[in-house]
Amino acid sequence: MSGPVPSLDRLPGEPRYWYAGLAVLLVAWPLLFGAFWARIGLGALMWIGLAQSWNMIGGYAGYLDFGHGAYFGIGAFAAAVAMAQFGYPFLVGFGLAILVSTVVAYLVAVPTLRLTGAYFAIATWAFAESIKQAALVTGITGGTFGLSLPRSPETFIGVPVPFEIAETFFYYAMLVLCLATMALTYYLFERHEFGYRVKALRDDQDAAESLGIDTTRVKRQVYVLSCVVAAVFGSVHAWYIVYVHPNDVLAPIITDRMVIMALLGGLGTLTGPIAGGLLVFLLERLSSVFLGSTTFYLPLIGILIMVTVLFAPSGIIGILRGEVDRDDVRKNVKELGEKFDLL
């Protein structure tokens, strides 16, 4: 396509009215629909934020991080250790999650970002697995027993707060984090020259270097940033769920979900993880609630991934923007048909 880049503001009428309406809906959500839907909402917000965090390194920078979920777990355990083992309020755990994830991400970034493609993916996957195994045998993380977090009114900032620490509180906490993640992504990756440099190194690292871009530094910055965002969500999740175990918060499925959400929505786009995150999360949760099946959504997701990769590599957002080339789709359908003797 050779025309100007499509604008996101393609909705009928004034975009600001749509944004205002969406803002009102998001703020009023738990008040309008109650605790159950607040829980659904906070889950969706968390997964959208996590998918966006993966999208920073996987989509914008093009580094397929298959160990990203480890940082969600690191954030969860940082908060859990601070609160359960040392009796600190959540805010200290939150700060600790940022600190620990920054240090770990930097230490991991230095050797692994020298690798590319499958090697990077395997190295990060192995890192995540080793973190999980370490958490299972380390005393401070509770080992195979995990850790239970306190959740009384004084566990937020150290003194009692005049509101309940329950679903609504966590919904708003996730809303703030998710909106902050979106705003950060929009500013850094879509508007700031930093984002142009990240995309430049994804498209052609040598060309980027030849234009003054210190690609090693930029890669490390994106990696650390994306990991810290995942850790921040992990820390809030730990407090919300009040119990963390390595098999839950360090499970490989966490990374898998982030990857699937970003891929289905549209890699390297601001809105892709929102679309993909909503689709996957709601499919999973609603099929579980209304159909009583926790696995029904899995084959559906598998089919969706195949269809996306084959026919709409730019994801849902690419389809909405009209970026799917019909000739390519026809060609792929024909090739598939011939391959499986269907045509």
Query: Could you list the residues that contact another protein (CB under 8 A)?
Result: 1-5, 193, 196-197, 199-200, 202-204, 206-215, 268
Q: Which is nearer to another protein, 170 or 189 (CB)?
A: 189
Q: Which is nearer to another protein, 154 or 203 (CB)?
A: 203
CB of 141 to another protein, least distance (A): 40
Nearest partner of 59 among 195, 220, 248, judged by Cα: 195
Q: Cβ-count burial of 151 within 10 angstroms (0-12 exposed, 13-18 middle, 19+ buried)? A: middle
Residue 264 contacts residue 316 (beta carbons within 8 Å): yes
CB of 140 to another protein, least distance (A): 41
For residue 47, give Cα distances in angstroms to 129, 245, 281, 292: 21, 19, 7, 21
DSSP 8: S
Burial 232-258 (b: 16+ CB within 10 A, else e): bbbbbbbbbbeebbbebbbbeebbebb
DSSP 51-76: HHHHIIIIIIS----TTTHHHHHHHH
CB of 5 to another protein, least distance (A): 6
CB of 323 to another protein, least distance (A): 10
DSSP 99-157: HHHHHHHHHHHHHHTT--HHHHHHHHHHHHHHHHHHHHH-TTTTGGG-EE---SGGGTT
CB of 195 to another protein, least distance (A): 9
DSSP 191: I
CB of 110 to another protein, least distance (A): 16
Q: Which is nearer to another protein, 173 or 200 (CB)?
A: 200
Q: Which is nearer to another protein, 13 or 212 (CB)?
A: 212
For residue 244, give Cα distances in angstroms to 141, 143, 292: 9, 10, 25
Q: Which is nearer to another protein, 7 or 152 (CB)?
A: 7
CB of 296 to another protein, least distance (A): 35
Q: Which is nearer to another protein, 202 or 257 (CB)?
A: 202
Q: Which is nearer to another protein, 132 or 197 (CB)?
A: 197
Q: Which is nearer to another protein, 198 or 230 (CB)?
A: 198
The Cα–Cα gap between 6 and 112 comes to 35
Q: Which is nearer to another protein, 245 or 321 (CB)?
A: 321
CB of 217 to another protein, least distance (A): 9
CB of 304 to another protein, least distance (A): 23
Burial 324-342 (b: 16+ CB within 10 A, else e): ebeeeeeeeeeeeeeeeee
The Cα–Cα gap between 33 and 25 comes to 11
The Cα–Cα gap between 308 and 329 comes to 11
> At which residue do the structure tokens 């029904």 appear?
296
Residue 66 contacts residue 251 (beta carbons within 8 Å): no
